[in-house]
Structure 1
Amino acid sequence: MSEKDNLQNADGNVELHKEEIKTTEENNTSNISENVDAEASKVEEKVDTITEDVVEAEVTTENETESEAKVEDEVVETTNESTDTHVEEIEESNAEDAEDESNSERHSLETKDYHAMTMDQLADEFESLVKHQKIQTIKSHVDEIKSEFNSKFGELLEQKKEEFINEGGNEIDFYYSTPLKKRFNSIYKDYKTSLSAYYKDLESNLKSNLDNRLHIIEEIKGLINVEENINTTYKHFKDLQEQWRNAGPIPRDKYNNAWNTYHHHVEIFYDFLHLNRDLRDMDFKHNLDQKLKIIERAEELAKDDNVNRTFRELQVLHKLWKEDLGPVAKEHRDDIWNRFSSATKTIHDKRQAYYADLDKAYEVNLARKEDIISKIDAITQDNGNSHQAWQKKIKSIEALREAFFNAGKVPIKVNEATWAKFKTSVRAFNKNKNAFYKGLKKDQFSNLQKKLELIKIAEDNKDNDDFSTVTPLMKKIQSDWKKIGHVPRKDSDKVWKQFKSACNHYFDKLHAKRNAANKEQIEAYEQKVKLLDQVKAIELSGKPEADIQVIKDNIKAWKAIGHIPSNKRYIDQKFNKVLDGLFGKLDMDKAKLEMLKFENKLENLSQPNDTRLLDNEHNYIRKKIDEVKGNINQLENNLQFFSNVDENNPLVKDVLKNIENHKSSLTVWEQKLRKIKDMY
């Protein structure tokens, strides 16, 4: 039956009951008034406690995006109330909540900056939501977390895939996962399982609730056909209204049609009541009073700057206006609705301005992210091409990546494009980095081959006894090894141990042979140590000739011991020092003593097939002779300035003495020269 037919039937039924209503009007007025007053009390209590209920349930959601406040369904008013955009936004949100009353709790969940979280943090947040929140209230959060996690893992996956291919892998064989990815997938599987079970139960409940509401509508439709006194019918109507309020959620796509049909037949019932004008006016007055209270509260909210809280409470006011209160007298309908709509528009405009400011903040974040991307591009184009330079660039990129994720949200319309641009820049950097290290690995592989060749030479010659030939070769390959660059890290220790082992093997043999050859020299050294101690203990007799003979005998014994290891020759210097001490104690001519010491020195300078030490001493003596002669000539020239001066003059005497000393020194140096010439 169409709505038009319903109206016609209603008019007919009104006529049939006309007489009955007139005769019972006075008796029923007082009873109905009581019912109206009781109903008014209930609704008034709701209006008075709206703020308390909303504030108690409200959790500040400053980060809520505009998309969270929008819903998909469109509400169509069937009264004189207009359907402006600002009203539609409220009713769309209420329609969404109508399907599942707990959906309103989604607004109380704190919206976090998932973009700035690491994959570990995203997994932890996801697990916390699944464990501690109602499964049906977290969908938008889960979707955002899943999107961010997949984006970050996808970036990692691309990087690992590129490395795999660069190392020679086949793309078709590539596979990569992590324990974190498996954990995230497990959480998501649990979420989907729980959500599926919830919606399966919800579907059954929604259908049952819809059937119940449709049954209530049918009962309201039938009230005008019931032959009973108006008081009983009115009480029945109020009971059905209460049942409607408590009937529970229904499918979202059925919400508006069901409510419009319900509202339509409620108005028909009020038209049915118009025969009892006092009763109808009393109900209209009650509805007007309560709607005025709602308007006053809405106008208070219009002055509040917390746009999210006011929108939440405004939703409740609209739901109460629409579902809990009936119509008012026609002469008031447009006025009160326009006033309520005006307050709603003020809140709506504030909310739009808030999101406009939010978009401006997002634009600032966008500029910051664009700057970060530019810096990544600049680092990518940097010409530094050493391992150290690349390590520095890698650290810089990691810092920029973290800064990008912490830069905050950008406008939704450019979010995907910005993310794609960021990934492209990072991918370009990684491509260059991988190309560098791929070339570095190529060089390292070449270095490895060179070192393997040196290892082969070392191992081929480690047992060779031709020491005079092999020793220079082994020293050369050791020098060449140091000049070769890095090899792959996995091979570094292995090849070094091989090379070191072969070289040590050879040089251990060399040292063993040298030690055998030097055994006699070591024994000679030990004999010289003993003789040195004996010489240190010599006590001179005071008789020069006898003491000189003792010294010469010890010198002869020292020379008879033979050669000692080159690294032990310092003992000869100790012996000569002791001899100098003994010579210094002799009571004899200094010139003779000097020649004795010189003869001993010459014995030490004389080396088989090596005259370098004698040559150096010969040159030294020649220089000293020339130096002394020069001094004598200078002093003799100075005497020419003392003409007609007595030789007893102290100054002249001093010059003459110096000349004499130099001549004596010259005699000794010339004797030394003759001695050294005899050594050749």
Structure 2
Amino acid sequence: MLEEKNDNLPTADGNVPNDSNESIQLESVITENEATTAETAEATAENTAETTEEEVVTADVETEHVNQKALNSIDDSNAEESEDETLKDRHHIPMQDYDTLSMEQLVDELLILVANDKVMSVKEHVEEIKKAFLAKYNHFIEEKKEEYHTENPDTTEDFQYHFPLKVKFDQSYSTYRDNKNTHFKSLQTNLKSNLENRLAIVEELKELINPQENIKDTLKHFNELRERWKNAGSIPKDKYNHVWNNYHFHVENFYDYLHLDREARDLDFKHNLEQKQKIVARVEELVNEADVNKAFRELQDLHKIWKEDIGPVSKEHRDAIWNQFSDLTKKMHDKREVLFEKLRGTELENLEKKKEIIAAIEVLATVKVNSHSQWLAQIEKVEALRAAFFAAGKVPSDVNEETWGAFKLAVRNFNSFKNSFYKDIKREQNENLEKKNALVAKAQQLQESTDYTATTPIMKKIQEEWKQIGHVPRKYSDKIWKEFKDACNNYFNKLKEQKDEHNAEEIEAFDKKKSYLETLREYQLTGDHKTDLDAIKLHIETWKNFGKVPFPRRHIEGKFNKILDALFDKLSLSKKDTDLLRFTNRIEGLSENNDTRKIESEKIFLMRKIDEVNNEILQLENNIQFFTNTRNAKKENSIVLEVRKNIAIHKESLDGWKEKLKQLRNLKIE
């Protein structure tokens, strides 16, 4: 046997070198004589083998075929790490489900990864973050674009949206890309040089098989070549297996076909066997490790040590130790496959969740609501469903794009449905804006008016109309409200200043009336009717000339009227004249205080009294006609005389009520 069976990992084309009957794969690196020698040795061994041994070999080949997938998986990864040593640390960074993170979280994760100096160890992470971020960002921009065109249906301007988080993402990703390009340039230069160096070492190994050279010098040279090999550096991954297989072939060839010191060789074989047995023992422990991914990563490292750091063992142990290692590798690979199947099952569960979420959004895109508050509730539901969609986790890669597309379509349809409602709202708000602009113009026109009696009711009416008008577009709301409020405040502040001036005058009038009231309490009539009547009228006129008093202090008017009533009672006037004087004084007081409510109430009272008296007179006149049509009509009895007397009294009362109503209607209220 020319090489230890499957001691090396698979070649780049996926074939695993077996024992001598597969050594033809190495023809490109062995001389024709070496191949012939090897084939002769193998033929001799095969001729002495029993049929049962051939069956064992066949079984071994089948076992190796079963293990092929597990070995390829590890070999491909190690070949990649061989090309770029920064990949050795990639497994220490946990791969997250980046689809479940928000855009802010994705950018934060990207910043952390970009700060890592091992560019290639974060490559897969960065690309996953980029994919997740751009998907969310594009969806976000589509929604903003729809909102923009909904709010500005007639615009001819291109949609633009500044998103600082996207700028931050682009800057971080650009830094990562620059670092990666720099890394690749340096890597390519080194790979080519290292490959040439390793091929040269292989060529020197071939030349060591020289029986004429001193064995000690040959062994020393061999050890130097092995040390140079360990320090030769990374090579391209597509050359990795081929170069390593050739190297190990010639190392084993050196051990097997040179006449080395058997004792030294056996010691080396024994040491190598012990090291490989330790690896096998460790792999047996890893098979029971709970963390399958961690165990598999360590298995990759053990394969690399087996292949790169430990030399061959004796022929009698080569098959056994390798098969043991290979079988354990397959067990680890099977456990990993079970884990992957479980993950795929989880992805299928996530797919079902996302389908349910999409279906729920599609339903919401058909539920018609007719108020802003109801739409806010619908929007809140969709936002919750969106958050659930992003938190649901990964789905199988073959349906990922399809699922994402269905989700975007469902959200877009909901937004279109929602926007159709808000287009109507927008139209209504624009109509409200026109109405409010008209009120603003009217308020600004009246704000400098000094005709407070006429303007104040108009300004109050304008304010009431403003309250009845609905919302306007948000971008105009603050501006138009400020304009309206400033115009109203300007007018009512001036009105307040004018009232404050009047209040000062009213307080002064109250003080004068209060002092005059004390003087009037001591007034005594002279007994002369005309003189006393003129004096009372003068008191009334003087009182009126003092002016109005503050509203809370109008009780002083009642005190003045009580004094007048006492004076009128002492005058020798008719009841009618006294009553008219009192009424005139009272309604003039109401007029001065602009007490329109009491004046209107008084007017209604007088009109009712006039109706009542008219009805009484009519009834009495009907009664007289009844008595005058009887036999004794020529002689009016006492009843008829009494009726006539009552009619005269009612007519006199009617004149008084009419006179009061006439005075009331002639009042000029300010």
Is the pair's TM-score, using the shorter chain for normalization, greater than 0.5?
A: yes
Structure 1 window deviating more from structure 2 (327-336 vs 275-284): it is 275-284
Aligned match of 2:280:
295
Query: Is 1:417 aligned with 2:402?
Result: yes
1:468 and 1:576 map into 2 onto residues whose CA distance is 27
Aligned match of 2:31:
6
Query: Is 1:335 aligned with 2:320?
Result: yes
Displacement of 1:145 in angstroms is 1.6
Aligned match of 2:415:
430
In structure 2, relative to structure 1, the CA distance for the partners of 1:524 and 1:416 (3 Å cut) is closer
**Contact map agreement 1:105 1:137 (CA 8 A) in 2:** yes
Query: Is 1:202 aligned with 2:187?
Result: yes
Displacement of 1:203 in angstroms is 1.0
Aligned match of 1:89:
73
Displacement of 1:369 in angstroms is 3.8
**Contact map agreement 1:210 1:251 (CA 8 A) in 2:** yes
Q: Deviations over 1:547-587 (max 9, x none)?
A: 99989954762257559989968877533345447868999
3-state SS in 1 of match to 2:94: coil
**Contact map agreement 1:270 1:280 (CA 8 A) in 2:** yes
1:423 and 1:549 map into 2 onto residues whose CA distance is 102
Aligned match of 2:252:
267
1:417 and 1:260 map into 2 onto residues whose CA distance is 44
1:205 and 1:4 map into 2 onto residues whose CA distance is 23
Displacement of 1:299 in angstroms is 0.7
In structure 2, relative to structure 1, the CA distance for the partners of 1:369 and 1:11 (3 Å cut) is closer
**Contact map agreement 2:29 2:246 (CA 8 A) in 1:** no
Q: Which amino acid aligns with 2:602?
A: L
Displacement of 1:94 in angstroms is 1.1
Structure 2 counterparts to residues 473-492 of structure 1, below 5 A: 480-492=465-477
Q: Which amino acid aligns with 1:603?
A: T
In structure 2, relative to structure 1, the CA distance for the partners of 1:170 and 1:223 (3 Å cut) is farther
In structure 2, relative to structure 1, the CA distance for the partners of 1:422 and 1:468 (3 Å cut) is same
In structure 2, relative to structure 1, the CA distance for the partners of 1:324 and 1:481 (3 Å cut) is closer
Aligned match of 2:386:
401
Q: TM-score, normalised by structure 2?
A: 0.69
Residue number among 602, 611, 619 corresponding to 2:583 in the alignment: 602
Displacement of 1:253 in angstroms is 0.5
Structure 1 window deviating more from structure 2 (537-546 vs 491-500): it is 537-546
Query: Is 1:104 aligned with 2:88?
Result: yes
1:524 and 1:318 map into 2 onto residues whose CA distance is 108
3-state SS in 2 of match to 1:133: coil
Aligned match of 1:252:
237
Query: Is 1:217 aligned with 2:202?
Result: yes
Q: Which amino acid aligns with 1:312?
A: R
**Contact map agreement 2:510 2:548 (CA 8 A) in 1:** no
Aligned match of 2:330:
345
Query: Is 1:155 aligned with 2:107?
Result: no
**Contact map agreement 1:580 1:597 (CA 8 A) in 2:** no
In structure 2, relative to structure 1, the CA distance for the partners of 1:239 and 1:510 (3 Å cut) is closer
Q: Which amino acid aligns with 1:316?
A: D
**Contact map agreement 1:115 1:408 (CA 8 A) in 2:** yes
**Contact map agreement 1:80 1:333 (CA 8 A) in 2:** no
In structure 2, relative to structure 1, the CA distance for the partners of 1:463 and 1:534 (3 Å cut) is closer
Query: Is 1:182 aligned with 2:207?
Result: no
Aligned match of 2:602:
613
Aligned match of 1:68:
none
Displacement of 1:272 in angstroms is 0.8
1:342 and 1:557 map into 2 onto residues whose CA distance is 130
In structure 2, relative to structure 1, the CA distance for the partners of 1:459 and 1:213 (3 Å cut) is closer
Displacement of 1:126 in angstroms is 1.9
Aligned match of 2:121:
137
2:524 and 2:542 map into 1 onto residues whose CA distance is 27
Q: Deviations over 1:429-473 (max 9, x none)?
A: 333333333332222222333444556667788899999999987
Q: Deviations over 1:615-673 (max 9, x none)?
A: 5268589999xxxxxxxxxxxxxxxxxxxxxxxxxxxxxxxxxxxxxxxxxxxx99996
Aligned match of 2:101:
117
**Contact map agreement 1:10 1:224 (CA 8 A) in 2:** no
3-state SS in 2 of match to 1:197: helix
In structure 2, relative to structure 1, the CA distance for the partners of 1:346 and 1:551 (3 Å cut) is farther
Displacement of 1:185 in angstroms is 1.9
3-state SS in 1 of match to 2:31: helix
Structure 2 counterparts to residues 266-285 of structure 1, below 5 A: 266-273=251-258, 281-285=266-270
Q: Which amino acid aligns with 1:425?
A: A
**Contact map agreement 2:509 2:548 (CA 8 A) in 1:** no
Structure 2 counterparts to residues 51-62 of structure 1, below 5 A: none
Structure 1 window deviating more from structure 2 (612-621 vs 335-344): it is 612-621
In structure 2, relative to structure 1, the CA distance for the partners of 1:491 and 1:567 (3 Å cut) is farther
1:396 and 1:89 map into 2 onto residues whose CA distance is 46
Aligned match of 1:227:
212
Q: Deviations over 1:304-345 (max 9, x none)?
A: 112122112111221122223333344433332222122212
2:350 and 2:530 map into 1 onto residues whose CA distance is 102
Structure 1 window deviating more from structure 2 (562-571 vs 120-129): it is 562-571
Aligned match of 2:557:
575
1:454 and 1:99 map into 2 onto residues whose CA distance is 78
In structure 2, relative to structure 1, the CA distance for the partners of 1:672 and 1:308 (3 Å cut) is farther
Q: Which runs of 5+ in 1 are unaligned?
A: 16-76, 625-668
1:432 and 1:461 map into 2 onto residues whose CA distance is 44
Query: Is 1:534 aligned with 2:516?
Result: yes
Displacement of 1:250 in angstroms is 0.6
Q: Which runs of 5+ in 2 are unaligned?
A: 1-25, 41-59, 614-648, 661-670
Q: Deviations over 1:73-97 (max 9, x none)?
A: xxxx999965521222121211111
In structure 2, relative to structure 1, the CA distance for the partners of 1:617 and 1:154 (3 Å cut) is same
Query: Is 1:355 aligned with 2:327?
Result: no
Displacement of 1:363 in angstroms is 4.0
Q: Which amino acid aligns with 1:436?
A: F
In structure 2, relative to structure 1, the CA distance for the partners of 1:612 and 1:304 (3 Å cut) is closer
Q: TM-score, normalised by structure 1?
A: 0.68
**Contact map agreement 2:526 2:532 (CA 8 A) in 1:** no
Aligned match of 1:387:
372
2:377 and 2:610 map into 1 onto residues whose CA distance is 64
3-state SS in 2 of match to 1:353: helix
Aligned match of 1:631:
none
Q: Deviations over 1:156-192 (max 9, x none)?
A: 2222333444424778934444333233222222222
Query: Is 1:304 aligned with 2:289?
Result: yes
In structure 2, relative to structure 1, the CA distance for the partners of 1:108 and 1:420 (3 Å cut) is same
Displacement of 1:358 in angstroms is 3.1
Q: Deviations over 1:369-401 (max 9, x none)?
A: 444444444444342333333344444444443
Structure 1 window deviating more from structure 2 (554-563 vs 341-350): it is 554-563
Aligned match of 1:558:
540
Displacement of 1:143 in angstroms is 0.6
3-state SS in 1 of match to 2:209: helix
Aligned match of 1:48:
none
Structure 1 window deviating more from structure 2 (420-429 vs 93-102): it is 420-429
1:569 and 1:318 map into 2 onto residues whose CA distance is 104
C-alpha RMSD of the superposition: 5.2
Aligned match of 2:433:
448
Displacement of 1:486 in angstroms is 2.6
3-state SS in 2 of match to 1:132: coil
2:328 and 2:273 map into 1 onto residues whose CA distance is 17
2:299 and 2:507 map into 1 onto residues whose CA distance is 109
1:522 and 1:528 map into 2 onto residues whose CA distance is 10
In structure 2, relative to structure 1, the CA distance for the partners of 1:447 and 1:337 (3 Å cut) is same
Aligned match of 1:323:
308
3-state SS in 2 of match to 1:138: helix
In structure 2, relative to structure 1, the CA distance for the partners of 1:548 and 1:385 (3 Å cut) is farther
Structure 1 window deviating more from structure 2 (276-285 vs 100-109): it is 276-285
